[in-house]
Amino acid sequence: MYFQDDSLFPETQEKLVITVAPYGPEWEPNDFLDDLPLTMDEHVQAAVDCYEAGASVLHVHVRELDGKGSKRLSMFNELLRRLREAVPDMILQVGGSISFAPEGDGADAKWLTDDTRHMLAELDPKPDQVTVAVSTKQMNITDLMTPDDIAGTSFERPEVWDAYREMVVPAAPTWVEEHVRRLQAAGIQPHFQLPGIPQLEKVERLIRRGFYTGPLVLTWVGIGGGGDGPSPYNAMEFIQRVPDGAVLTLESLMRSVLPINNLAMTLGLHVRCGNEDTLWGRRGEKMKSAEQVRQLVRIATELGRGVANGKEAREIYKLDETYGSVEETLAKIGYSPNRRPGEFGFPQRA
C-alpha cells in the first residue's frame, strides 16, 4: 500500500470498519461468564450489543450448551437465520475453522476435516464471508499469552494449554483452491486470514493463476505462534506488500489488540476486537466485547475518523463485486498484470 503526503489525514481515509469476534471459541464460559455466550439467545444478544456499540462485521462461531465450540452446521444455520433478523445490516463472517476446541481433557485442539470445512459453502442462510487460511502452519495461540492473560481461566490447566500450544492450521494448496472455488460459486466472499508475507504471496499466486477472481479482503493476523508477532515492523512490512486496492484489517492477541488497532486506525486501515482476541482492557481488568467496540469508536472519533455502518462496510468490502477474468482482478486489486509472452522488464500497472 502506498502512502501519500495526505494519507494520514482522516478526511482522506475510508470510514473505519470494526470487526468484532464476541464468541471466543477457545475459552470456556466460566472464563468470562459476563461476556461468553452459551444459549442461542445469548449469541444473538451479543451480536445486537456489538452492533449497537458500532461494529459492522460479526465474526461468527457457535457454542453448544455444554460450553464447547459447536461442530454442527445446523447450529450455524440457526444462528445465521436469527442474526439476519436481529442485525440485518451486519456483515456476517463465519470463522472458517468451524471449531478448534478440544473435545476433552488431553484432546487436541484441531480444525475439522477438509470436507467438513468445504460444507461452509452450503450454509443456509449463507453468510457474507467465510475466513480462509492459506498454507498449513502452526497456530500456537499461547505464544503471546502471559501469566496475567490466563489468570483464573481454563488455560491455567496444563491439558488446555498444551492442546492450544500444539494446534496446527490445515490449509494445503488443493484444499485452498477448491474451498475458494466453492465459496465464490455460492456467492460468499473469502476473507483471507494471513499471518505473514509468505501467505500473502500465496494468495497473489492464487489470483494470478485464476483460482480467485474477486476483491481482496484480508486480515493480517499478528498473533505469533507460527506467524508474525505484533511488532509494528512486521505490520508495516506486511502493509507495504499489500496492493492498493485491497481492504486490510489488522488483528492481534490479548493486550496487543488495542495498540495494533490504534496503529490500524491511524494508518487508514481497519480493526478487529472481541473476546476471541482478548478478554482484557487495562492489565488485570476484563473488558466485554461490546465495550471494546465502544472504546474503538471513541478513539476513532478523537482521531476524526468516521466509523462505517453496515451499508458503508458492505461498500468498502465490495461484497457485491466479482470480476470476470484474471486480468480484471489484478487491475482492480492493484497488482501488476501477468507477464505476456515475450515481455521483458517489469510489467506495469494499467
Give how many domains the chain has, as a whole number. 1
Q: At 230, which CATH number? A: 3.20.20.70
* In a domain? residue 305: yes
Report yes or no on 349 lying in a domain: no
At residue 109, the pLDDT reads 47
For residue 240 the three cell numbers come to 507495504
Whether 12 is in a domain gets the answer no
**Cα dist from 81 to 51, 97, 290, whole Å:** 16, 20, 21
Upper half-sphere CA count for residue 286 (Cβ side, 13 Å) = 15
Report the alpha-carbon distance of residue 347 to residue 350 in Å, rounded.
Answer: 9
Is 169 part of any domain?
yes
Tell me: cis bond preceding 125? Omega within 30 of 0 counts: yes
pLDDT at 349 over 80: no
Q: Does some domain include residue 8?
A: no
**pLDDT score for 71:** 83
On whether residue 294 sits in a domain, the answer given is: yes
What number of CA atoms fall less than 13 Å from residue 242's CA on the CB side? Answer: 26
**Residue at 105 is within a domain:** no
> 207: Cβ–Cβ under 8 A, 6 or more apart, which residues?
213, 216, 326, 329, 330, 333, 335
Whole-prediction pTM value? 0.95
Say how many C-beta atoms besides its own lie within 10 A of residue 156's C-beta: 12
Question: For 97-123, how does the pLDDT look when each residue is reduced to its tens digit (9 = 90+)?
Answer: 765 444 455 555 445 677 878 889 999
In a domain, 70, yes or no: yes
Query: What mean pLDDT do residues 317-327 have?
Result: 96
* Domain span including residue 156: 18-99+116-333
Strands 189-194 and 18-20, by their bridges, are unpaired
pLDDT of residue 102: 45
Encode pLDDT of 205-227 as tens digits: 999 999 999 999 999 999 999 99
